[in-house]
Amino acid sequence: MRKISFLFTGLFMATAIFAKDNDDSTKLVMDMLKRMDSIESALHYKTGKLSLAGGAVSINIPEQFKFLESADAKYVVEDLWGNPPSTDPPLGLLMPVSSNVTMAGGYTFIVSFQDMGYVKDDDAAKINYDDLLKEMKKSNVEENEERKKLNLTQLNLVGWAAKPYYDKDRKILHWAKEYGIAGEEVNTLNYDVRVLGRKGVLVLQAVSTMDELDSVNAHINDVLAMVNFTEGNRYSDFDSSTDNVAAWTIGGLVAGKVLAKAGLFAVILKFLKFIIAGVVLAGGAIWRFITGRRKKKEEEMQYQPEPVQTNTDTDLPVQ
């Protein structure tokens, strides 16, 4: 299964070249859809209560959502979406039940845990996020050089999709960034949530396109209600006589310095590399047909969350 994306790319390129009429194009589309469905059926989606991070985190997935555990999540993020390999795979992927990892649209939360120690939040109210953004844009240039060396998609940081907000009472940090990709009409959204705990940080990172921002905002309260640190692992359980204090602060979390230090990229793409190569050669009409079919299916199964209170400005909703 690890090599499936490369096999699909070759297959689609060959098929597209020899597609001389509408019947050939239709067959290409149907073959592509069949393979997308085959990938989905091979994944092991879960619902219900699960234990993560060695029991430090509990997640309870309702029937309106579904979850992929670590092995499947690593395969999707790296092999299907074309992100850099990591020695520290995600704990899982969380998404609405109407979404699929082979859909170009929709959003998916990547769930992971950073075992960095207790993060002090004293600097949260003092950070100038406009200045921090300038620093992040400089780092983005350097990161793109590394991506270029690895033959990976280069990303250009446009700015905040929503400025950082720290809920001091709940110990939850939010922010969202917008990235541009050469040749892509719609920019990429990385929507980040960090839940502070006694020995580290629970990471929830939504990956999608910018046109999904409203949908992510509408569902964020539902997602946060699913995940919790277990007793003894909460931020309030910190013991200064025994526990380690993280070298990172709130500003460092937002800037992505923790991931950079670990040799990882702070940005995750939902880029279906096994589909895109074939679609480009086969023509835009085929891609519109595929996304139209998927969108119609998603609308038929659309999850309607409980009403939540959100702000109308560009800042993230106060939790």
Q: Where do the domains of the chain lie?
A: 43-271
| Class (C level, CATH) for 43-271 | mainly beta
| Angle subtended at Cα 15 by Cα 12 and Cα 20, rounded to the nearest 5 degrees | 140
Close Cβ partners of 241 (under 8 Å, ≥ 6 residues apart): none
Confidence category of residue 10, pLDDT binned at 50, 70, 90: very low
pTM of the predicted structure, to 2 decimals: 0.74
pLDDT (tens digit per residue) in 198-256: 999 999 998 888 988 999 999 999 999 999 999 999 999 999 999 999 988 898 899 87
Asked whether residue 186 carries a pLDDT value surpassing 90, the answer given is no
Confidence category of residue 183, pLDDT binned at 50, 70, 90: confident
- pLDDT at position 316 is 47
Between 3 and 147, the higher pLDDT residue: 147
- pLDDT at position 142 is 85
pLDDT (tens digit per residue) in 243-292: 999 988 898 899 875 444 333 344 555 544 444 333 333 334 444 444 45
Alpha-carbon torsion 170, 175, 176, 179, what sign?
negative
- pLDDT at position 167 is 94
List alpha helices for the chain, DSSP H. 4-17, 22-42, 70-74, 129-149, 213-226, 250-255, 257-261, 273-282, 284-300
Confidence category of residue 296, pLDDT binned at 50, 70, 90: low
- pLDDT at position 292 is 53
- pLDDT at position 304 is 45
pLDDT (tens digit per residue) in 97-140: 988 888 767 889 999 999 999 999 998 989 999 999 999 999 88
What's the mean pLDDT in 46-62? Answer: 95
* Single-letter amino acid code for the residue at 200: G
